């Protein structure tokens, strides 16, 4: 390590703790507290990457999240490598490995650098213009373009890190812990407000914390010392939570904000083991104080992008905070006083500063005087016209500006040697979060900044993000704004004595002139996307006027930095070129996230087994122990089929369905929705929600019902049982349960408040075992010997309240398979035991557990519909040939009116039919299209297959389908065209088995 | 003879947090609007149903949690017998309320599983999965809320300082426990 690039005066770097890391395969050393950028600079490395389009060598430019150039790939583990990380934000740790992006074979020798020489051929819109023709060549172009697209490499394996979410509710959220943020946090907390303070850096204090100049004093203390004392006091307060390394990504409406808390990215592999890497904070704040500070602007001049050209504030931070010298021979280039602070700071550390180039004519501020007193040479009214040095800045050329700043006073050119240029084009308030929240900006001509104007929520901006740049103004205005915002009398900062150097003159030229014509220069506006002033002017010449269009055409303001540095210059150049005022040009939209977020943070723990919620029935363990395969139905895990040995699903289903029809089968039906309905108007309520009539249903009897939407389409179905005079239990489909409950409750509260009806969901309260098949009666008799199971005492579609042992249960004799069948409902905690007893009792009858697939097959044999499989929200009961379930006498029910619309009464609507294949062994594919004529173009599609199985009980393939005008097509031959063949089918009645319902009473 | 099975198998202990299921507890869902409904409940089980949103009321034997302007959940304070599921109080209230059309009484004993969280880190756990603002809730004994935890509907009842009861539908309880165990392991 080149020790001579460190100055020993930093309070923030622990020089006793040496850290080794790798950059581009080579080992370097830095100290604890260094960022990758500061450690590289300390090792005299400026060249860290190549630009996106021209592959120009680029160096570290800033010291924060606005960095456009120094974006690197961190880590080489295929699961956790991360592209596009800003070297200025990576805190180094032992074992850190990083490498340059967008260069091959290396950052020093990059083949893509040829683009720089081809740049005259690559103007803005090059891709749009070039690859338009011939159109058929696009597929060939695409291969090459894809290859050069993108920055960095994505991980190729699943992320092994752990991410979490956390919800936070606070009275006051303060974003940014610079001087105004600290003031805000302290004021809010001292007024008993529960406060959260966030900062993206690892230390509090922003830029003031390393400001050691006698020129800036607060309360007679050097500003950094004063702030340090304030922070120490802050740490003692109870009501305050402080989070560092936390960047607010998004500011949504109603003060809902998302922030990324970085917990372990600064730790070595061993230290971060089993710890949460990043946390997404979901914050609801009653009040928000935005104190995000401001970003220094670069200056736009020819070749302003060489490694070694940096922001002046970054040069200062590297020296004052990290103790790192960015160059041995420094020059500053400025249009304001900031560069003077940086220059003085370097001089006082004994670092060589050659001169300052200032585009202003003069300035008499105290800090300029101090620089002059220190013997610093200042070139007033001068600008840089070119820079030299390919991989590192070597020289600059300067010329004297004319009075109007658009050309030169004379043709004299001075060439100066330097290896680091600190530039300052003034400051841009960081209004990103403010505008994300819906805030409206206004333009301040005086110093050419956009500042907050209208707020959309309980929030306020203070400090330099609100356009206050002088120390005394920051403190006074922040204090005044806080008093008003928090409705308090005083802040404790009201009458504080502040000494500062005031800026006395300002001058701004968005695009500095060059002695060459614009076409021959490269004045970069957006460094990351290689967009130059020339490109912006070209876009304007080609007719683009809106800033949003210019952005998309030139790519200015895109990329990982989202144009944090260059957007203002793009606006300025557009305004200057088109003669429009800058405030009227407007800005592009600031969108979240402010800085890039990892997908891991967004997803949190909702990965793997937590990706979606699952629901289990009380019998679940039994199914698992008995080799069941599971199917997702809604969020439920339902037993699908129970393969024995090497059985396929088809074989298992054939066996299960045959066994059920021949002797006995058992199904876990616990997932069906169940709603307990009570109240004196319960019968009337059912009359209104179902299509059929309920008033005359006897107590202890069950009835099937079909529920429609207002549009007359089938919505849900199920059996409802009358338990008492005013007491019913409704069953719904498994997937529809929650929606039906919500819909019915909604009707009760908003449409029919006059009805005395109460609903309670009891879906999870009951476990349901359904025993079906000719021997089911014998099995139930073994379980409850005292129960008279005769058809007279316990007929089909009726229910009994019984006990199994000492446990109460409800038994319904209902059937979804067409077999004699009993549904036993018992309190869920006894469900597993009930199931086991059914299996024991049914052993002698070879009782066979069957899953959802066999259930589907058995009901299809009987032509029973499944809402959601045979219906799709466009089927009326009439379409389903279920006219029998629609009451003609009832005054009203949900959807009744729609059934009499001309469209729902059309004869040629898709209607439910059965299909038989000519070859009984051919099983149709569900979803297959149905046609009536071959060789027709375009072919007229009549409908599609909704359910299809091979029925072992009938020994042939059966299918349910919806066909246009199907009701009148009985016996008609139709075709199912498949990829490799056409299948001939015949339209039949959808009930394939036991039309007379003999089995129900067997 | 049917055996009782609970979906949650064990008590889990973490730093500052213990997670356990308490069962069987009798739970009734009570719904009604009229003054008669409220007085009948009060007379029969010696509890005044709370009318303020997100609060609860307790007697020696029962706790009533407010669920909506016409809905409450009544939970037994002590576990009940696993051997049978005849609850006298259910019968009594069903006869006095449902049968007289004053409102509805529905047994939801197994609809909801009750998970008790105890320890000083309860609200740290809840903040990792619930959007609800617990700032006031945590200092108010007896407060209750219906919210989401790990995207699952839950009723949360603050029964005493450093102790919270979570009521979750039985079918979701296994998933919720798995999520709680995962999240609690990093507290």
Q: Looking at A663-736, list the stretches that DSSP marks H as alpha helix, in order from N- to C-terminal side.
A: 682-689
Q: Which tokens is A447 given?
A: 């110093």
**Is B163 contained in some domain?**
yes
Instruction: Give percent helix, percent strand, percent coil of chain B, each to the nearest 5.
Output: 25, 35, 40
Q: State the pLDDT at residue B52.
A: 97
DSSP string, A647-670: --HHHHHHHHHHHHHHT-EEEE-T
A828 contacts on B by Cβ (under 8 Å): 110-111, 170
Q: State the pLDDT at residue A109.
A: 81
Of A165, A678, A764, the CB nearest to B128: A165
Question: Nearest CA to CA, how far is B28 from chain A (Å)?
Answer: 10
Which of A270, A241, A82, A263 lies closest to A165, judged by CA?
A: A263
Q: CB B110 to CB A827 under 8 A?
A: yes
Which of A158, A163, A162 lies closest to A81, judged by CA?
A: A158
The count of CB pairs under 8 A between chains A and B is: 144
Of B24, B131, B150, the CB nearest to A282: B131
Using the Cβ of A810 and the Cβ atoms of chain B, whether some distance falls under 8 Å is answered with no
Using the Cβ of A760 and the Cβ atoms of chain B, whether some distance falls under 8 Å is answered with yes
DSSP-derived 3-state class of residue A612: coil
Q: CB B172 to CB A613 under 8 A?
A: yes
Give phi and psi for A127, each to the nearest 5: -70, -40
Work out the percent of chain A whose per-residue pLDDT is above 90. Answer: 87
Q: State the pLDDT at residue A9.
A: 66
Of A164, A610, A829, the CB nearest to B6: A829
Distance between CA atoms of residues B58 and A483, nearest Å: 45
Beta carbons within 8 Å of B39's beta carbon, 6+ residues apart: none
Whether A644 and A627 have beta carbons less than 8 Å apart is answered as yes
Question: Nearest CA to CA, how far is A847 from chain B (Å)?
Answer: 19
Q: Which CATH architecture has domain A906-1001?
A: Beta Barrel (2.40)
A907-942 pLDDT, tens digit per residue, is 999 999 999 999 999 999 999 999 999 999 999 999
Q: Which structural domain, as residue segments, surrounds residue B98? A: 13-184
Whether A966 and A912 have beta carbons less than 8 Å apart is answered as yes
Q: State the pLDDT at residue A119.
A: 78
Using the Cβ of A874 and the Cβ atoms of chain B, whether some distance falls under 8 Å is answered with no
Q: State the pLDDT at residue A4.
A: 63
Q: CB B109 to CB A833 under 8 A?
A: no
Beta carbons within 8 Å of A894's beta carbon, 6+ residues apart: A688, A689, A707, A708, A709, A710, A747
What's the angle, vertex CA A189, arms to CA A186 and CA A191, rounded to 5? Answer: 110
Distance between CA atoms of residues A176 and A161, nearest Å: 27
Distance between CA atoms of residues A795 and A789, nearest Å: 8
B7 contacts on A by Cβ (under 8 Å): 616, 618
Domain A673-765+790-838 has CATH 3.30.1360.120: yes
Q: First and final CA of chain B: distance in angstroms?
A: 43
Q: Which contiguous run of DSSP H or E holds residue A525? A: strand A524-526
Of A165, A678, A806, the CB nearest to B84: A806
**Is B8 contained in some domain?**
no
Distance between CA atoms of residues A526 and A300, nearest Å: 10
Angle between helix axes A533-541 and A567-578 (nearest 10 degrees) is 40
- Most B CBs within 10 A among A280, A680, A828, A833, hence the mutation to make, goes to A828
**Is B173 contained in some domain?**
yes
Whether B164 and B134 have beta carbons less than 8 Å apart is answered as no
Distance between CA atoms of residues A320 and A11, nearest Å: 9
Domain residue ranges of chain A, discontinuous segments joined by +: 3-117, 162-294+429-499, 298-425, 509-596, 673-765+790-838, 906-1001
Q: How many CB atoms lie within 10 A of CB A809?
A: 24
Angle between helix axes A649-662 and A852-861 (nearest 10 degrees) is 60
Q: Which tokens is A410 given?
A: 């004379």
* A667 pLDDT tier (thresholds 50, 70, 90): very high
**Is B51 contained in some domain?**
yes
Distance between CA atoms of residues A1 and A41, nearest Å: 10
- Beta strands at A162-175 and A195-198: parallel, antiparallel or unpaired: parallel
Distance between CA atoms of residues A452 and A459, nearest Å: 11
Distance between CA atoms of residues A715 and A163, nearest Å: 40
Using the Cβ of A800 and the Cβ atoms of chain B, whether some distance falls under 8 Å is answered with no
- Most A CBs within 10 A among B33, B104, B153, hence the mutation to make, goes to B104
Task: Report whether the peptide linkage leading into residue A121 is cis, meaning its omega lies within 30 degrees of zero.
Answer: no
Q: What value does the mean pLDDT take over residues A691-712?
A: 96
DSSP-derived 3-state class of residue B38: helix
B117-160 pLDDT, tens digit per residue, is 999 999 999 999 999 999 999 999 999 999 999 999 999 999 99
Domain A3-117 class, CATH top level: alpha beta
A162 contacts on B by Cβ (under 8 Å): 186
Looking at per-residue pLDDT, the higher value among A848 and A503 belongs to: A848
State the sign of the Cα–Cα–Cα–Cα dihedral A888, A892, A895, A900.
positive
Q: State the pLDDT at residue A103.
A: 80
A623 contacts on B by Cβ (under 8 Å): none
**Is B122 contained in some domain?**
yes
What is the 3-state secondary structure of A769-814? EEEECCCHHHHHHHHCCCCCCCCCCCCCCEEEEEEECCEEEEEEEC
Give phi and psi for A866, each to the nearest 5: -115, 120
Distance between CA atoms of residues A502 and A215, nearest Å: 10
What CATH code is carried by the domain that includes residue B147? 3.30.1360.120
A735-757 pLDDT, tens digit per residue, is 999 999 999 999 999 999 999 99
Whether A204 and A242 have beta carbons less than 8 Å apart is answered as yes
Cα distances from A423 to residues A89, A207, A310, A427, A604, in angstroms, run 21, 17, 6, 12, 41
- CB contact burial A33-43 (16+ within 10 A = b; e otherwise): bbbbbbbbbbb
Total of domains in chain B: 1
A215-254 pLDDT, tens digit per residue, is 999 999 999 999 999 999 999 999 999 999 999 999 999 9
A487: left (phi over 0), alpha (psi -120 to 50) or beta: left
Looking at per-residue pLDDT, the higher value among A737 and A132 belongs to: A737
**Residue in this structure with the two tokens 């740790």, named with its chain if needed:** A93
Identify the bridge partners of residue A296 per DSSP, sorted by sequence position.
A427
- Beta strands at A377-380 and A353-358: parallel, antiparallel or unpaired: parallel
Question: Is the pLDDT at A1 greater than 60, yes or no?
Answer: no
User: If 0-12 CB within 10 Å is exposed, 13-18 middle and 19+ buried, where does residue B15 land?
Assistant: exposed
Q: Which CATH architecture has domain A162-294+429-499?
A: 3-Layer(bba) Sandwich (3.50)
Mean pLDDT, chain A, rounded, equals 94
Q: CB B108 to CB A760 under 8 A?
A: yes
Question: Nearest CA to CA, how far is A808 from chain B (Å)?
Answer: 7
Distance between CA atoms of residues A729 and A801, nearest Å: 13
User: If 0-12 CB within 10 Å is exposed, 13-18 middle and 19+ buried, where does residue A900 land?
Assistant: exposed
Task: Report whether the peptide linkage leading into residue A134 is cis, meaning its omega lies within 30 degrees of zero.
Answer: yes
Q: How many CB atoms lie within 10 A of CB A648?
A: 10
Using the Cβ of A844 and the Cβ atoms of chain B, whether some distance falls under 8 Å is answered with no
Of A284, A761, A833, the CB nearest to B2: A833
Looking at per-residue pLDDT, the higher value among A79 and A875 belongs to: A875
Question: Is the pLDDT at A255 greater than 70, yes or no?
Answer: yes
* A84-93, A587-596, A832-841: least confidently modelled range: A587-596
DSSP string, B84-142: ----HHHHHHIIIIITTTSEEEEE-TTTEEEEEEESTTHHHHHHTT--S--TTGGGSTT
Whether A988 and A915 have beta carbons less than 8 Å apart is answered as yes
Q: What is the CATH number of domain A298-425?
A: 3.50.50.60
Q: First and final CA of chain A: distance in angstroms?
A: 93
Distance between CA atoms of residues B166 and B168, nearest Å: 6
Whether A18 and A336 have beta carbons less than 8 Å apart is answered as no
A194 contacts on B by Cβ (under 8 Å): 135
Q: CB B108 to CB A804 under 8 A?
A: no
Distance between CA atoms of residues B157 and B179, nearest Å: 19
Q: CB B127 to CB A833 under 8 A?
A: no
- Chain B residue at shortest CA distance from A638: B171
Question: Is the pLDDT at A104 greater than 80, yes or no?
Answer: no
**Is B4 contained in some domain?**
no
Question: Nearest CA to CA, how far is B166 from chain A (Å)?
Answer: 16
A874-917 pLDDT, tens digit per residue, is 999 999 999 999 999 999 999 999 999 999 999 999 999 999 99
**Is B2 contained in some domain?**
no
Q: What is the CATH number of domain A509-596?
A: 1.10.10
Question: Is the pLDDT at A3 greater than 60, yes or no?
Answer: no
**Is B5 contained in some domain?**
no
Q: What value does the mean pLDDT take over residues A326-337?
A: 96
Distance between CA atoms of residues A255 and A251, nearest Å: 7
* A538-542, A614-618, A660-664, A943-947: least confidently modelled range: A538-542
* Within this chain, domains A3-117 and A673-765+790-838 share the same CATH topology: no
Q: CB A615 to CB B111 under 8 A?
A: no
Q: What value does the mean pLDDT take over residues A753-766?
A: 98
Of B6, B107, B134, the CB nearest to A765: B107
- CB contact burial A934-967 (16+ within 10 A = b; e otherwise): eeeeeeeebbbbbbbbbbbbeebbbbbbbbbbbb
Beta carbons within 8 Å of B28's beta carbon, 6+ residues apart: B73, B74, B87, B89, B90, B93, B105, B106, B107, B108, B109
Q: State the pLDDT at residue A2.
A: 47
Q: Which contiguous run of DSSP H or E holds residue A459? A: strand A459-461
């Amino acid at each position: 390590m080149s020790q001579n690039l460190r100055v020993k005066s930093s309070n923030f770097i622990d020089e006793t703790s040496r850290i080794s890391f790798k950059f581009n395969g080579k080992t370097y050393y830095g100290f604890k507290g260094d960022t990758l950028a500061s450690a590289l600079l300390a090792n005299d490395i400026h060249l860290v990457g190549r630009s996106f389009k021209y592959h120009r060598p680029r160096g570290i430019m800033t010291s924060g999240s606005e960095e456009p150039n120094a974006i690197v790939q961190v880590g080489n583990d295929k699961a956790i490598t991360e592209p596009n990380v800003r070297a200025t934000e990576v805190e180094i740790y032992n074992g850190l490995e990083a490498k340059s992006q967008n260069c091959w074979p290396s950052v020093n020798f990059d083949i893509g650098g040829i683009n720089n020489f081809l740049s005259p051929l690559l103007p803005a819109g090059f891709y749009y213009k070039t690859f338009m023709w011939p159109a058929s060549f696009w597929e060939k172009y695409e291969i090459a373009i894809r290859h050069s697209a993108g920055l960095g490499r994505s991980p190729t394996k699943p992320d092994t890190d752990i991410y979490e979410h956390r919800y936070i509710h606070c009275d006051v959220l303060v974003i940014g812990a610079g001087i105004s943020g600290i003031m805000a946090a302290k004021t809010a907390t001292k007024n008993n407000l529960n406060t959260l303070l966030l900062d993206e850096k690892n230390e509090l204090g922003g830029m003031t914390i390393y400001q050691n100049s006698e020129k800036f004093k607060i309360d007679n203390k050097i500003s950094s010392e004063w702030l340090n004392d304030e922070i120490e006091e802050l740490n003692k307060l109870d009501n305050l939570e402080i989070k560092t390394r936390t960047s607010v990504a998004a500011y949504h409406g109603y003060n809902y904000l998302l922030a990324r808390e970085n917990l372990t990215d600064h730790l070595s592999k061993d230290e971060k083991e089993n710890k949460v890497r990043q946390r997404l904070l979901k914050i609801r704040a009653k009040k928000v104080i935005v104190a995000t500070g401001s970003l220094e602007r670069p200056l736009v001049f020819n070749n302003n992008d060489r490694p070694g050209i940096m922001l002046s504030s970054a040069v200062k931070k590297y020296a004052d905070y990290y103790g790192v010298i960015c160059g041995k021979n420094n020059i500053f280039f400025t249009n304001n006083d900031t560069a003077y602070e940086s220059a003085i700071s370097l001089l006082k550390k004994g670092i060589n500063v050659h001169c300052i180039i200032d585009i202003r004519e003069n300035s008499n501020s105290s800090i300029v005087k101090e620089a002059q007193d220190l013997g610093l040479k200042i070139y007033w009214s001068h600008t840089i016209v070119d820079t030299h040095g390919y991989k590192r800045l070597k020289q600059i050329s300067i010329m004297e500006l004319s009075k109007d700043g658009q050309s030169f006073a004379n043709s004299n050119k001075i060439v100066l040697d330097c290896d680091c240029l600190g530039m300052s084009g003034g400051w841009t308030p960081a209004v990103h979060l403010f505008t994300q929240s819906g805030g409206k900006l206004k333009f301040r001509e005086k110093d050419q900044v956009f500042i907050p104007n209208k707020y959309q929520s309980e929030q306020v901006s203070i400090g330099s993000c609100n356009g206050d740049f002088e120390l005394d103004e920051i403190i006074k205005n922040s204090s005044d704004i806080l008093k008003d915002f928090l409705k308090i009398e005083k802040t404790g900062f009201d009458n504080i004595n502040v000494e500062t150097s005031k800026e006395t003159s300002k001058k701004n030229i968005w695009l500095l002139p060059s002695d060459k014509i614009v076409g021959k220069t490269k004045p970069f506006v957006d460094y990351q996307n290689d967009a130059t002033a020339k490109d912006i002017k070209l876009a304007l010449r080609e007719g683009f006027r809106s800033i949003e269009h210019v952005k998309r055409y030139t790519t200015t303001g895109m990329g990982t930095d989202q144009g944090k540095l260059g957007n203002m210059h793009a606006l300025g150049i557009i305004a200057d070129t088109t003669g429009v005022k800058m405030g009227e040009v407007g800005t592009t939209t600031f969108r979240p996230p402010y800085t890039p977020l990892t997908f891991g943070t967004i997803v949190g723990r909702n990965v793997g087994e937590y990706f979606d919620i699952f629901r289990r029935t009380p019998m679940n363990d039994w199914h698992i122990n008995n080799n069941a395969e599971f199917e997702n139905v809604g969020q439920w895990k339902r037993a699908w089929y129970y393969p024995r040995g090497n059985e396929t699903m088809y074989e298992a289903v054939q066996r299960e369905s045959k066994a059920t029809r021949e002797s006995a089968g058992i199904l876990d039906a616990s997932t069906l929705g169940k709603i307990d309905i009570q109240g004196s108007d319960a019968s009337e309520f059912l009359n209104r929600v179902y299509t059929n009539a309920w008033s005359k249903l006897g107590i202890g009897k069950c009835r099937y019902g079909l529920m429609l939407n207002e549009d007359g389409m089938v919505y849900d179905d199920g059996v409802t049982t009358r338990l008492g005079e005013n007491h019913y239990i409704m069953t719904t489909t498994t997937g529809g349960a929650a929606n039906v409950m919500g819909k019915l409750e909604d009707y009760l509260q908003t449409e029919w408040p006059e009805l005395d009806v109460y609903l309670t969901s009891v879906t999870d309260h009951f476990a349901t075992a359904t025993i079906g098949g000719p021997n089911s009666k014998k099995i139930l008799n073994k379980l409850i010997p005292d129960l008279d199971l005769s058809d007279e005492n316990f007929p089909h579609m009726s229910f009994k309240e019984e006990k199994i042992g000492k446990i109460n249960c409800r038994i319904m004799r209902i059937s979804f398979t067409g077999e004699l069948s009993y549904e036993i409902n018992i309190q869920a905690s006894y469900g597993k035991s009930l199931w086991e007893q059914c299996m024991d009792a049914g052993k002698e009858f070879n009782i066979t557990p069957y899953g959802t697939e066999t259930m589907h097959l058995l009901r299809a044999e009987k032509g029973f519909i499944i809402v959601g499989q045979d219906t799709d929200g466009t089927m009326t009961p009439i379409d389903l040939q279920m006219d029998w379930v629609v009451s003609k006498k009832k005054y009203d029910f949900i959807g009744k009116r729609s059934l009499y619309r001309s469209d729902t009464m059309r004869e040629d609507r898709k209607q439910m039919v059965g299909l038989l294949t000519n070859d009984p062994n051919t099983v149709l594919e569900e979803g297959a299209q149905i046609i009536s004529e071959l060789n027709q173009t375009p072919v007229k599609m009549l409908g599609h297959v909704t359910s299809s199985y091979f029925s072992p009980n009938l020994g042939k393939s059966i299918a349910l389908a919806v066909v246009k005008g199907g009701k009148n097509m009985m016996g008609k031959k139709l075709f199912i065209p498949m990829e490799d063949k056409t299948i001939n089918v015949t339209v039949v009645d959808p009930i394939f088995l036991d039309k007379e319902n003999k089995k129900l009473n067997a | 003879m049917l055996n009782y099975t609970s979906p949650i198998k064990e008590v889990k202990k973490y730093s500052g947090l213990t997670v356990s299921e308490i069962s069987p507890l009798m739970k009734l869902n009570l719904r009604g609007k009229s003054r008669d409904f409220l007085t009948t409940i009060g007379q029969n089980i010696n509890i005044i149903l709370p009318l303020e949103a997100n609060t609860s009321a307790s007697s020696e034997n029962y706790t009533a949690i407010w669920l909506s302007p016409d809905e409450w959940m009544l939970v037994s304070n002590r576990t009940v017998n696993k051997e049978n599921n005849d609850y006298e109080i259910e019968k009594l209230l069903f006869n006095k309320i449902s049968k007289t059309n004053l409102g509805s009484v529905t047994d939801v004993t197994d609809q909801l599983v009750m998970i008790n969280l105890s320890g000083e880190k309860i609200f740290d756990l809840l903040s990792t999965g619930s959007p609800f603002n617990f700032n006031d809730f945590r200092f108010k004994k007896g407060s209750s809320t219906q919210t989401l935890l790990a995207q699952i509907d839950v009723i949360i009842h603050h029964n005493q300082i450093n102790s919270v009861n979570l009521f979750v539908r039985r079918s979701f309880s296994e998933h919720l426990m798995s999520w709680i165990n995962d999240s609690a392991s990093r507290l």
